[in-house]
Amino acid sequence: MTKHLTVVDHPLVQHKLSLMREVETPTAVFRQLLREISMLLAYEVTRELPMTTHEIQTPLEKMDAPTLDGRKLALISILRAGNGLLDGVLELIPLARVGFVGLYRDEETLQPVQYYFKVPGQLDERLVIAVDPMLATGNSSVAAIDLLKGAGAKNIRFLCLLAAPEGVARMKEAHPDVPIVTASLDSHLNDQGYIVPGLGDAGDRMFGTK
């Protein structure tokens, strides 16, 4: 992947995203839409996935058939909202290894604080896809990528649902080698660090907390 930012403007993605943004959309519907949209985004972020071949028998003859080398892929959920994106991607690529980075945002400083880190081994040999629905200030995304690189990851992509220009710029400055795939580049961040127009707090909306 060569582009730093890819906005997936497929009509199905855009339609589902609009439904998710609506303040009246209930939690269960929000979660279902997120699962569906994450599968569509996974299609884009997994272009150029490592492939292997398996010998299979068709009704006519044997062939070396191309198959995904799923063991070479690591999906990393940035907790807790990342889990919503993770589910859909994992449904498409069940062989992928999965890791978790726990970061919460200090609401005063907006800085990320780490509370959990558990990732698959041999990260240096894997394509690592970090998932977090909201790329807002970029602080927690940059911190998560820092941790993944510290654990050996060399080939990383970042998958999110919404991105703010501020977060994209921060990621580009800190990690220009990490391509970002998103469903929308929104207008800006507000004073509380929320993406505008956005969809509110992604974690609260998917888990029904407030």
> Which residues carry out catalysis?
105, 109, 201, 204
Please identify, using beta-carbon distances, which residue of 81 and 151 lies nearer to ligand URA. 81
Q: Is 112 in the site for ligand URA (CB under 6 A)?
A: no
Measured CA angle at 5 (ends 50, 83), to 5 deg: 65
Query: How far is it, in rounded angstroms, from Cα 147 to Cα 150?
Result: 5
Q: Is 161 in the site for ligand URA (CB under 6 A)?
A: no
Please identify, using beta-carbon distances, which residue of 117 and 194 lies nearer to ligand URA. 194
Q: Are 177 and 145 in contact (CB under 8 A)?
A: no
Shortest distance (Å) from residue 177 CB to ligand URA: 24
Q: For 112, left (φ over 0), alpha (ψ -120 to 50), or beta? A: beta
Q: Are 165 and 188 in contact (CB under 8 A)?
A: yes
Residue of the chain from 34, 42, 130, 136 that contacts ligand URA (CB under 6 A): 136
The answer for residues whose C-beta is within 8 angstroms of residue 165's C-beta and 6 or more apart is: 185, 186, 187, 188
**C-alpha dihedral, 39 to 42 to 48 to 50, nearest 10°:** -80
Residue of the chain from 89, 134, 160, 161 that contacts ligand URA (CB under 6 A): 134
Q: Is 85 in the site for ligand URA (CB under 6 A)?
A: no
Q: Is 45 in the site for ligand URA (CB under 6 A)?
A: no
Q: Is 17 in the site for ligand URA (CB under 6 A)?
A: no
CB under 8 A, 24+ apart: contacts of 115-118: 116/79, 117/147, 117/151
Stretch touching ligand URA by CB under 6 A, among 34-42, 83-91, 151-159, 197-205: 197-205
Please identify, using beta-carbon distances, which residue of 88 and 167 lies nearer to ligand URA. 167
Stretch touching ligand URA by CB under 6 A, among 4-12, 122-130, 141-149, 194-202: 194-202
Q: Is 128 in the site for ligand URA (CB under 6 A)?
A: no
Binding site for ligand URA (CB under 6 A): 81, 134, 136, 193-195, 198, 201-203
